C-alpha cells in the first residue's frame, strides 16, 4: 500500500491528503446501495394497518393529502376503530373523509375538523370521538414523540378550555342534550418565569400516510411548497411510514441539500395515483368589472369589513412580520400605507406570502391557512408546520390580526366554537395569541352580533381562545386599546366618522375610558 501525504501552503494549510492505492476502495460503510423501498402494489403496502391503529395522515386542507393510500385502506372494511390524526377531518371523499364515509374511524385528533360537515354532524350526535388540539400543539406533540420526548410545556391553551378539558371528547348517543360520554382531557399546568404553561403529551403513531413530490428509491423525500405541512413530523413519528410519491426517482438524483425528509424515516414507497385537488380556487381580480349580482345588504357588509381593514392597516409598520387570520384580516394588505412592505406569514408554512394567483399561476401546492390559492413574493420561504409554529410561539411575528366572536375588557378572546352548535376547530388561533408580550394581537370584528347584542363584553361567555392576550380591538364603530398587563380595561382611542361616544357606549357590553386625544378615521 502506498500512502502519500500532501500539505498545501496556499488554501489548505491544515489539510492532509491521504491517497490510498490497493486492490479495492475502502469505506467506513459499504458502498453498495440498500434495497429499494418501492412497492408495486398500494394494496399490499397498506396490508399491515390493523384495527385500533393510530393513523397519522399528512396534509393541510387538500394540499399534500395521501389519497392514494387512504383509498386503498378504505377498501379494507375489516379495519375498524382507527384513530385518525390530521390537521383536518378531510372534505367529501378526500383525506380522512374517505375513512369517515366508510365508518372506519372511531376517533379523530385534529385542529380544524369543521370543514367536514359530515364529521361535524357525527360528533354532535355522539357517533364519533374528537380530541380538539391547537394546530401548533398538534404539530409539536407529533414532533415530540419522533424526538423521544414524552411531553412538553407550552403556553398555548393556558387558561382556556384546552387546559380545563371543557371540550367533550364524545357525547352520548343523541348528542349534547343526552350528556357527555367521554369528558375532555384536563391538562396539568405550572408557572415558569411568570408565565402559565400547560403540559401536553406526545402523540405516538402506529402508521403514517404521507404524500411527497419527489422520493428516491431509498426513501429520501422532497416536498413542494405548502404540501409539506405536517408530513415531515408525521413521517418521523410512526412505527410504519408509507409515502406515496408523485415522482419516484433513482437514488442519487436528489441533491442532499434538497432533501426535506431523510430516508431513515420511510419504510415503504408507492406511486401516487390520486389527482391533486384545490379546496378553494381563489384568483386575483382584474377590477375591470363590477359585480352587479351583489345585493345592497351584502355590498354594505363588504364595505363595512373594508372600512375596518383600512383602520387595522394603520397598525402595520414597514418590515413587520404579520400573520393574518382568515376572513376580514386578509383584506388588510390592500390598505397598507405607501412604502410599507411586510412579510406575511401563513401558519401552514409560508413566510413571504403574495397575492392571489392569476389562472395561469394557479398551483394546488400553494395555499394559505384558509385553504385559498396564493402566490409567493421574491425572498419567500416555505417550511413545515412545526417550524411555522416555532416562529409563532417564539414571538417572532410582530402582529397577528384575528377575527372573534367575543372579546372581553381584559383582552380575553373567543373565536373557535359554539358548544353544541358549531365545531369549526381551534386552528392556529391559540398559538397566535400565546405570546402577546412579543406579538401584538389585534382583533377585527363587527361591534355587535346579528341579533344586536354586543360582542365586546365584561366577560366572554364562549370558550376562550386566549386569556388576556388581545392588545387592540377594531370594529366598524370604534378602536379600543386593551390594558391587558394591568388586569384589563379598555380605552376608546378612535371612533368612526359620524359615530358618537354615546353610541359606542350603548353598543358595548362593558365600561371603558375615553382617550383625551380621541381620534377618528
Positions marked active-site: 347
Taking the C-alpha atoms of residue 406 and residue 413, their distance in angstroms, rounded to an integer, is: 6
Query: Residue 78 CB: number of other CB atoms within 10 A?
Result: 7
Residues 448-480: b if buried by 16+ CB within 10 A, e if exposed:
beeeeebbbbeebebbbbbbbbbbbbbbbbbbb
Cell of 291: 359585480
Q: What is the 3-state secondary structure (H, E, C) of 243-276?
A: EEEEEEECCCCCCHHHCCECHHHCCEEEECCCCC
Label residue 191 exposed, middle or buried (CB < 10 Å: 0-12, 13-18, 19+).
Answer: exposed
**Count helices and strands in the chain by DSSP H and E runs:** 11, 28
Q: Give yes or no for a contact between 469 and 437, defined as CB atoms under 8 angstroms apart.
A: no
Contact between residue 63 and residue 245 where contact means Cβ atoms under 8 Å apart: no
Q: What angle, rounded to 10 degrees, do the helices at 135-146 and 385-393 form? A: 120
The helix/strand/coil state of 303 is helix
Buried b (16+ CB within 10 A) or exposed e, 59-72: bbbbbbbbbbbbbb
Report helix, strand or coil for 2.
coil
**Cβ(421)–Cβ(120) below 8 Å:** no
Whole-Å CA distances, 29 to 25, 34, 253: 11, 12, 21
Q: Give Cα 259 distance to the centre of its chain.
A: 22
Amino acid at each position: 500500500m502506498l500512502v502519500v501525504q500532501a500539505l498545501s501552503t496556499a488554501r489548505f494549510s491544515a489539510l492532509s491528503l491521504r491517497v490510498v492505492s490497493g486492490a479495492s476502495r475502502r469505506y467506513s460503510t459499504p458502498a453498495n446501495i440498500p434495497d429499494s423501498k418501492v412497492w408495486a402494489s398500494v394494496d399490499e403496502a397498506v396490508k399491515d394497518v390493523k384495527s385500533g391503529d393510530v393513523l397519522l395522515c399528512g396534509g393541510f386542507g387538500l394540499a399534500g393529502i395521501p389519497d392514494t393510500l387512504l383509498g386503498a385502506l378504505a377498501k379494507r372494511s375489516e379495519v375498524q376503530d382507527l384513530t385518525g390524526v390530521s390537521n383536518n377531518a378531510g372534505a367529501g371523499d378526500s383525506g380522512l373523509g374517505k375513512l369517515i364515509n366508510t365508518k372506519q374511524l372511531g376517533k379523530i385528533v385534529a385542529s380544524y375538523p369543521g370543514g367536514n360537515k359530515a364529521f361535524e354532524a357525527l360528533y354532535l350526535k355522539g357517533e364519533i370521538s374528537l380530541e380538539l388540539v391547537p394546530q401548533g400543539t398538534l404539530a409539536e406533540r407529533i414532533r415530540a414523540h419522533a424526538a423521544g420526548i414524552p411531553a412538553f410545556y407550552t403556553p398555548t391553551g393556558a387558561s382556556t378550555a384546552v387546559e380545563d378539558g371543557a371540550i367533550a371528547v364524545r357525547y352520548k348517543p343523541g348528542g349534547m342534550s343526552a350528556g357527555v360520554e367521554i369528558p375532555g382531557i384536563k391538562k396539568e399546568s405550572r408557572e415558569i418565569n411568570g408565565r402559565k404553561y400547560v403540559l401536553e403529551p406526545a402523540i405516538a403513531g402506529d402508521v403514517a400516510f404521507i404524500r411527497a413530490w419527489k422520493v428516491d428509491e431509498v426513501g429520501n423525500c422532497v416536498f413542494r411548497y405548502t404540501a409539506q405541512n405536517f408530513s415531515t413530523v408525521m413521517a418521523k413519528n410512526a412505527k410504519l411510514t408509507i409515502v406515496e410519491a408523485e415522482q419516484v426517482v433513482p437514488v442519487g438524483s436528489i441533491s442532499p441539500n434538497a432533501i426535506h425528509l431523510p430516508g431513515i424515516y420511510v419504510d415503504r414507497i408507492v406511486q401516487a395515483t390520486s389527482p391533486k385537488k384545490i379546496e378553494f380556487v381563489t384568483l386575483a381580480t382584474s377590477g375591470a368589472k363590477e359585480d352587479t349580482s351583489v345585493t345592497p345588504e351584502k355590498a354594505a357588509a363588504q364595505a363595512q369589513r373594508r372600512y375596518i381593514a383600512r383602520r387595522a392597516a394603520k397598525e402595520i409598520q414597514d418590515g413587520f412580520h404579520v400573520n393574518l387570520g382568515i376572513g376580514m384580516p386578509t383584506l388588510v394588505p390592500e390598505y397598507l400605507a405607501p412604502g410599507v412592505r411586510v412579510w406575511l406569514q401563513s401558519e401552514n408554512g409560508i413566510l413571504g406570502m403574495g397575492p392571489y394567483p392569476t389562472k395561469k399561476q394557479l398551483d394546488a401546492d400553494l395555499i394559505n391557512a384558509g385553504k385559498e390559492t396564493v402566490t409567493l413574493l421574491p425572498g419567500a420561504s416555505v417550511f413545515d408546520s412545526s417550524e411555522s409554529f416555532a416562529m409563532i410561539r417564539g414571538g417572532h411575528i410582530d402582529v397577528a390580526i384575528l377575527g372573534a366572536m367575543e372579546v372581553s375588557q381584559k383582552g380575553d378572546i373567543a373565536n373557535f366554537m359554539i358548544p353544541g352548535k358549531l365545531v369549526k376547530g381551534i386552528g392556529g388561533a391559540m398559538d397566535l395569541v400565546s405570546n402577546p408580550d412579543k406579538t401584538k394581537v389585534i382583533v377585527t370584528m363587527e361591534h355587535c352580533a346579528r341579533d344586536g347584542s354586543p360582542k365586546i363584553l365584561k366577560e366572554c361567555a364562549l370558550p376562550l381562545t386566549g386569556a388576556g392576550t388581545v392588545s387592540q380591538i377594531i370594529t366598524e364603530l370604534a378602536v379600543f386599546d386593551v390594558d391587558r398587563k394591568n388586569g384589563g380595561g379598555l380605552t376608546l382611542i378612535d371612533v368612526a366618522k359620524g359615530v358618537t361616544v354615546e353610541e359606542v357606549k350603548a353598543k358595548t357590553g362593558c365600561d371603558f375610558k375615553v382617550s383625551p386625544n380621541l381620534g377618528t378615521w
